[in-house]
Chains A and B, each alone.
Chain A
């Protein structure tokens, strides 16, 4: 199985400030088609996870442009340019390359 790790595991952020979450995979998620098979999800308190970013850097429908994804191979980053109160929750990366699909442990973002 591909092992996913994230850092930090906890991220207190002041509203209006930027935030960054790192995700690493135990093997490359870059496919022969040149795409990185890495997704980001946000699980807001009491809710189901929701898709934020797919294929490493593509925002899902309705996701604000303050969210961006980058990286390639085994190292990926989710950035929030200016954190808002509604961004609190747990952020997960997931490798979508091969089964079994696996998630990172999650990064808890909360407001200072």
Chain B
């Protein structure tokens, strides 16, 4: 049974940096693709990027150079860092596992999500 749990601050000030961690059980972060996806309140889903292969990353260009992912294999965790936060970054942030099957990347496990509000 694969489980993912996000942790981090629920409130971030404008211009500050968001740091979130996802703790994984039931699978090793050394394998598979590990993603961050967000959902602004009342809106749809936006893929931020994934980390895989012991640290390789692919980011959504919409986030330009603001986002960084990292892995901590000793704790079986992966993390997101998003700089220069604005009100537009207010969202539920999900961590998830993406499974590469025949070149297709389905999202087969999701965390419960954590609401991050950007406000002074």
Footprint of B on A, CB under 8 Å?
31, 33, 35, 37, 39, 41, 48-51, 54-55, 60, 92, 94, 96-97, 99-106
B72, CB-defined interface residue at 8 Å? no
Which B residue's beta carbon lies closest to that of A40? B106
**Cα A96 to Cα B108 with chains together (Å):** 12
* Total A-B Cβ pairs within 8 A: 65
A100 CB to nearest chain B CB (Å): 4
The answer to whether A48 touches B47, judged by C-beta atoms less than 8 angstroms apart, is no
Q: In the assembled complex, which residues on chain B have CB atoms less than 8 Å from the CB atom of A31?
A: 102-104
Q: A31-B103, A55-B101, A99-B58 are in contact. Are A60 and B45 (CB under 8 A)?
A: no
Residue in contact with A92 in the complex, picked from B45, B102, B106, CB distance below 8 Å: B45
A29 CB to nearest chain B CB (Å): 9
